[in-house]
């Protein structure tokens, strides 16, 4: 929607958001209406200081507008601020006419920004028919509907889908089909990550140029590492002129084969076969060498070990084109969770030791980690009910990602709110080379509104996902999504 247009909804949950510019002369009234409204949730002065301080804390300067969100009789009002904390001369305001019946209430201070879910998977069962990852792209979208409904409930306006579909997303027609099918649902934006190799079998590289032209934003053989150093170098060389990263699941199959969980004291106590840190570390070292040799961009998926974090930190200092991500479960849990949660805590890479968790938190705090990714992987209950050695890897993560990040990172003082927005919004948008991640006139009109102070208990039985594979059931969290807006339309709202 372009600046100057204005649409208002009928008070329902699908009310359109009108984007308009506010002249400098209107600022006084706007500030009085919004900052002076004085909700019980957050005093005006506190909201103003929180917004200003968050903007000043944005390390790389790419977060150029946050927002104060309040609810008055006329609906939301999001007031743009510049990095200094001053009101802009020409403010961007989103002002839907949401009636009391919309259910979009109980808002305090929030952020106007896209949340992008990098690295999400189609699991086995759960949100999909029984074939799960073997889901046919040509199906009309019932399973995609459930998958994206969970995404927008978690505040995600954009998701990047891994290629573990059937057929594997290794052709331009599959990429276009995925985009078209998901686009018709009118929920989150979907950008496909295509396979590095045909069938993700580690032999023949796919048609990178054709896939990018069809809409792919990156390449990965999701769940499997790129097979060898020679193939990784060839992929990086081929992707470099396209500006697309190679996203690698770093694992050394010869070291991890047959492993169920982290190698360590807990595994020994349970009699489980472990996956050593070296399985990840050796592959990360290989990929960094390939990036240095080719000048290509490698993105290391779901880092879990202290050694991998340190290697990426040093590679960045040397100027290599490397980015990385971690997941909420890897900064919230250790392998001890397996004793309590069983297969609900089985994922790959596995939950690691307390020392690894501390290293991940340090990497988040010092900026080594670029992105927080969900690694959302739904599985049917009967699959997760199998014996530990037979149950599939993976957990759901859409609806807990932001609340866990707020609870474990922001409210503990490990990072600022602005830093979190950079990792969940700005950096993912940069990584996929899309003009998203910021609120601006004529922009995408994607907004996530959340109450960072609201305390609640996560109940997996209430999830929008059909899957129930989460180790966070019953966790008390602080911070929750209250509305998700995509292309100016409310696609999710809660009271």
Other beta carbons within 10 angstroms of residue 363's beta carbon come to 22
User: Which residues lie below 8 Å from residue 352, measured CB to CB, with a gap of 6+?
Assistant: 262, 264, 277, 304, 305, 330, 334, 335
- C-alpha 412 chain-centroid distance: 20
Tally Cβ neighbours within 10 Å of residue 73.
8
The burial class, CB within 10 Å (0-12 / 13-18 / 19+), for 412 is: exposed
What residue has token string 């109980």? Answer: 106
User: Which one is catalytic: 375, 446, 451, 473?
Assistant: 375
3-state secondary structure the chain: CCCCCCCCCCCCCCCECCEEEECHHHHHHHHHHHCCCCCCCCCHHHHHHHHHHHHHCCCCCCCCCCEEEEEECCEEEEEEECCCCCECCCEEEECCCCCHHHCCCCCCCCCCCCCEEEEECCCECCCCCCCHHHCECCCCCHHHHHHHHHHHHCCCCEEEECCCCECCCCCHHHHHHHHHHHHCCCCCEEEEEECCEHHHCCCCECCHHHHHHHCCCEECCCCCCCCCHHHHHHHHHHHHHHCCCEEECCCCHHHHCCCCEECCHHHHHHCCCEECHHHHHHHHHHHHHHHHHHCCCEEECCCCCHHHHHHHHHHHHCCCCEEEEECHHHHHCCCCHHHHHHHHHCCCCCCCCHHHHHHHHHHHHCCCCCEECCCECCECHHHHCCCCCCCCCCECCHHHHHHHHHHHHHCCCCCCHHHHHHHHHHHHHHHCCCCCCCCCCCCCCCEEEEEEEEEEECCHHHCCCCCCCCCCCCCEEEEEEEEEEECCEEEEECC
Query: Catalytic site residue 370?
Result: no
Q: Which residues are catalytic?
A: 375
């Amino acid at each position: 929607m372009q600046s100057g247009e204005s649409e208002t909804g009928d008070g329902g949950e699908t009310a359109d958001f009108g984007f308009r510019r506010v002249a400098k002369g209107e600022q006084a009234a706007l500030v009085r209406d919004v900052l002076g409204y004085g909700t019980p949730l957050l005093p005006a002065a506190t909201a103003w200081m929180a917004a200003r301080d968050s903007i000043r804390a944005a390390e790389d300067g790419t977060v150029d507008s946050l927002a104060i969100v309040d609810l008055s009789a006329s609906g939301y009002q999001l007031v743009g601020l510049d990095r200094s904390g001053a009101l802009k001369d020409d403010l961007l305001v989103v002002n839907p006419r949401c009636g009391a019946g919309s259910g979009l209430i109980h808002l305090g201070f929030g952020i106007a920004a896209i949340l992008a879910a990098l690295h999400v998977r189609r699991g086995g069962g759960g949100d999909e028919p029984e074939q799960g990852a073997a889901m046919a792209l040509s199906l009309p979208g019932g399973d995609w509907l459930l998958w994206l409904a969970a995404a927008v409930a978690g505040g995600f306006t954009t998701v990047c889908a891994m290629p573990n579909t059937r057929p594997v997303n290794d052709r331009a027609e599959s990429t276009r089909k995925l985009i078209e099918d998901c686009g018709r649902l009118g929920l989150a934006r979907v950008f496909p990550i295509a396979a590095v190799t045909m069938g993700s079998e580690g032999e023949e590289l796919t048609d990178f140029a054709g896939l990018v032209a069809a809409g792919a934003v990156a390449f990965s053989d999701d769940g499997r590492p790129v097979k060898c150093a020679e193939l990784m170098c060839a992929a990086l060389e081929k992707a470099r002129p396209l500006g697309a990263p190679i996203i690698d699941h770093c694992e050394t199959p010869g070291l991890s084969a047959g492993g169920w969980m982290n190698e360590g004291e807990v595994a020994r106590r349970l009699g489980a076969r472990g996956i050593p840190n070296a399985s990840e570390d050796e592959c990360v070292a290989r990929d960094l060498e390939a990036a240095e040799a080719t000048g290509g961009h490698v993105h290391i998926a779901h880092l879990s070990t202290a050694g991998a974090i340190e290697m990426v930190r040093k590679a960045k200092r040397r100027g290599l084109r490397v980015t990385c991500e971690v997941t909420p479960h890897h900064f919230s849990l250790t392998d001890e969770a397996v004793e309590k949660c069983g297969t609900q805590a089985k994922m790959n890479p596995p939950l690691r030791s307390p020392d690894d968790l501390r290293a991940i938190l340090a990497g988040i705090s010092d900026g080594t980690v670029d992105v927080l990714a969900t690694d959302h992987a739904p599985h049917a209950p009967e699959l997760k009910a199998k014996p530990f050695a037979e149950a599939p890897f993976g957990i759901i993560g859409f609806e807990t990602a932001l609340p866990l990040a707020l609870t474990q990172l922001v409210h503990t003082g490990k990072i600022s709110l602005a830093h979190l927005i950079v990792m969940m919004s700005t950096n993912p948008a940069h990584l996929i080379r899309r003009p998203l991640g910021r609120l601006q006139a004529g922009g995408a009109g994607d907004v996530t509104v959340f109450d960072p102070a609201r305390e609640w208990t996560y109940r997996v039985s209430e999830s929008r996902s059909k899957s129930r594979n989460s180790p966070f059931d019953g966790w008390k969290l602080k911070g929750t999504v209250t509305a998700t807006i995509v292309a100016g339309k409310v696609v999710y709202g809660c009271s």
